[in-house]
Amino acid sequence: MELTAENRDEAAAHGAADQDARAAPVPAPACAPALGVAQARALAAGTLALAAAACGGGGSTGGGGPPVATVRKPQSDAEAARFLLQASLSASTAAIAEVRSEGFGPWLDRQFAASSSQTARNFLADRGFDRVDANRHYIFANAGDYMIWSQLLSGGDSVRKRIAFALSEFFVVSLAGIDLIWRGPAIGEYWDILNRHASGNFRDLLQDITLNPAMGVFLNTRGNRAADGRGRVPDENYAREVMQLFTIGLFELNPDGTNRLVNGKPVETYTSEDVSGLARVFTGYDFDQAGLASTDGGPGIGRVPDPEYARRPMTADPTRWAPARTIGFHSAEAKTFLGLTIPAGTGAAESLRLALDHLFNHPNVGPFFARQMIQRLVTSNPSPAYVGRVAAVFANNGQGRRGDLAAVFKAILTDNEALDPAGIANPNFGKLREPVLRYAQFARTFGARSTSGNWLVLDLGSQATGLGQSPLRSPSVFNFFRPGYFPPNTETANRGLLAPEFQLVNDTSVAGWVNFVERAVQGGRTPVADVTLDYAAEIAIAQDSAALLDRLDLLLTGRQLTQGVRDTIRVAMDDVTITATSTNAEKLRRVLIGVVLILASTDYLIQK
């Protein structure tokens, strides 16, 4: 995907607005910090009534200091469920018991240490989605959609996948913007990189993402050539975005993520000259096709390359290109940016190492990354103190290592600001649940499985008939929503609060969510007809509506339904009379009414 000059200027303007908004003071104490839910409830108002009609019913472990001796454990099932809904893709009674027994930190350590389950590569290979045959998967993006929905809706590694999804909204690559043969394997390798590094090191992740073929196509690194003295200059797309979006942001930051001010004004992190200098680093790269054969695709198709080329890191070695060359296109000029000069004549690999090391060690990276990951996982408006504690762990994991992502995400999820029960009652705390995460949560909660075994779910980006959001299908490199977004002319804006996910919200999307839920919870219906659900545990207690509602409330919200919402849902559930002789179909109807009404309620939509 190539940004035009006009789009780049617009992006820079929006980025500046985002960081100005992030610098706005938040009127909340450090341990009970800042999302105003009043606007959330206003924008989502009426969904409960719409859903009822559709159903037919009426001690901190965060920070960079030495670990404390006492292991912090949840004091209730609700507290454990709340933590699981921040740290992973769903809560279950088994996971709740584990967290209560082990404690927050040890449970997370075990998740990070566990080996990965099925990779995207294996998913595609096991189903023939990377095979040249009459299905022509090499042309279409469908296999990429099937892969990511399989990853999000099923299988283990829920913590790792939750973090990988957050990372996918930071290091953005979109299926909609990678025009190459074998888009499925290309986006699959991108997703596998995020999963591999979810508990690894930021520096390693940055390098693998930079050389990933999907990213190379998305932001024009692939085929980027040195200046030729006749008007051609290196493409600056990736150089700009790796600074603006992936590492340091637009303005210099204090360690707590607030803007560093000089004479009352923020200080820009880079100039156009820095972009031009860094752009020379990302020249001379192309697909690594050495030793790979192509396959005859049949009449009118021609030769189809081995899908492995879409997975291998890009290379600046021209002898590994197809066709092979003896001369490459890496810039031999000196490369000066952000105070670093890479001498003229430095090769591609060494230039890349020096450049990424320099970016990685910039003081902005920790607070810039920490704030956005807190926003994705816990709350839209973290206090500067919270950001500062996590950024300190990014700088030093306690053992002298910078960029330890397992330590960073553990700091985010076990910080007192995330775990403090007072956050539930704080109107400035929390975030709107993204549509993709809502669907992933209820699918996992109720044992989703694929009828075909292939997870045939496509792009759900339609606000009217889908989710209004589809994973790995961001409309641009700026993600589905900006970290500094707030709904204009609202109380949220008046109070200086941010609500990034509300950039997805409008009248169509609110009604569309209820319509989607009403279909999806039944299983086997378009647009998720290949996905079926298992409500056996709920059917078993359906005769007791109070017990059923308690279970649904625990697993879906961490017992955060307010009494008024509980009463409304209970009345609608009891409208279906259940006796000892009632059929499972009748019991299921009561269950589905409860599920739909919870998923449509603002108590659910705002994650606290």
Collect contacts of 298-302 with beta carbons under 8 A, ≥24 apart.
Answer: 301/136
CB contact at 8 A, 180 and 508: no
Inform me whether the pLDDT recorded for 4 exceeds 50: no
Averaged pLDDT of the chain: 91
Residue bearing the bigger pLDDT, 48 or 54: 48
The arithmetic mean of pLDDT across residues 383-408, rounded, is 98
Give the span between the Cα atoms of 172 and 38, in whole angstroms.
30
Question: Residue 379 and residue 392: Cα distance in Å, rounded?
Answer: 19
What residue has token string 């009674």?
Answer: 93
Q: Where are the domains of the chain?
A: 1-108+415-608, 115-246+270-361
What's the pLDDT at 15?
44
- From CA 278, how far away is CA 439, in angstroms rounded? 40
| Mean pLDDT score, 24-32 | 33
Query: Residue 431's closest CA among 470, 366, 381?
Result: 381
Stated pTM of the model? 0.90
Q: What is the pLDDT of residue 116?
A: 81
Mean pLDDT of 448-454: 98
Tens digits of per-residue pLDDT, 278-297? 999 999 999 999 999 999 98
Mean pLDDT, range 513-528, rounded to an integer: 96
> What local confidence, expressed as pLDDT, does residue 144 receive?
98
Under the banding of pLDDT at 50, 70 and 90, the label for residue 6 is very low
pLDDT of the residue at 70 = 87
Is the pLDDT confidence value at 339 over 80?
yes
Provide the pLDDT for residue 64: 52
Instruction: Give me the mean pLDDT over the 45-71 stretch.
Output: 51
Q: What is the pLDDT of residue 48?
A: 54
The average pLDDT across 144-157 equals 97
Integer Cα distance of 457 and 443 in angstroms: 13
pLDDT band for 66, please (50, 70, 90 cuts): low
Determine the length of the chain.
608
Q: What is the mean pLDDT of residues 484-497?
A: 95
* 134-161 as b/e: b if 16+ CB within 10 A: eeebbeebbbbbbbbbbbbbbeebbbbb
